[in-house]
Amino acid sequence: MTVHPRRTEQGSRSGTSEPRRSESGGAALLHPQELESLLLNIDASLRVHSRHQLFGWTQGMLQSLIKHELLVCAVRGARPTAYQVDCFASPWIDPEKVGDVFRRDTAFVTHLAAQWTESEFHPVVFAAGGAEPLSRGPFVAELQ
């Protein structure tokens, strides 16, 4: 997964691209434009009730907040290893193929779900090509 840092636009009031820290040294504070984008995305997400609406939101407003070429959404089914998978991708990526490989790489999916649960359901970033055996599995190979 590649995360693209935001660059400060010329004429911004902050004059810096470094995140601002709160006085307590805690989480980074958002610049006004970033905060507005986040709030608009949260508001828009509340109106997503179907697959085509999710696609429109992820490739539109969410894309402006979090740059991405591929978004994999998985919902666990009745069995712990059963997932309903949807992939939303840039035109040059075959989402059907990515979804199929994702479903077949059960070791990776199980590990990813466990990491997500352990992190109290916060986003999980997984580095492809890392030292872990799972980082060289079929799903990661397909992404590369």
Q: Are 85 and 77 in contact (CB under 8 A)?
A: no
Q: Are residues 80 and 125 in the same domain?
A: yes
Residue 18 lies in a domain: no
Contacts for 103-112: CB closer than 8 Å, 24+ residues apart: 104/138, 104/139, 105/137, 105/138, 105/139, 106/81, 107/134, 107/137, 108/134, 108/137, 108/138, 108/139, 108/140, 109/74, 109/81, 109/83, 109/139, 110/80, 110/81
Q: Are 85 and 72 in contact (CB under 8 A)?
A: yes
Q: Are residues 38 and 75 in the same domain?
A: no
Find the distance separating the first CA and the last CA of the chain, reported in whole Å: 10
In the chain, the number of structural domains is 2
pTM, two decimal places: 0.56
- Enter the tokens of residue 25: 């040294």
- Which amino acid does the sequence have at 9? E
**Other Cβ atoms within 10 Å of 57 Cβ, number:** 17
Q: Are residues 135 and 124 in the same domain?
A: yes
Q: Are residues 91 and 63 in the same domain?
A: no
Give pLDDT tens digits along the chain (144 positions). 444 444 444 444 444 445 555 565 566 788 899 899 999 999 999 999 888 898 889 888 988 888 888 787 777 777 766 767 777 777 888 878 887 887 788 888 788 778 878 888 777 776 666 667 667 778 777 777
Containing structural domain, residue 124: 69-144
Of 42, 68, 94, which marks where a domain is finished?
Answer: 68
Instruction: Give CA angle at 86 (99, 116), nearest 5°.
Output: 90
Backbone torsions φ then ψ of 113, nearest 5 degrees: -65, -40
Cα–Cα distance measured from residue 51 to residue 42, given in angstroms and rounded to the nearest whole number: 17
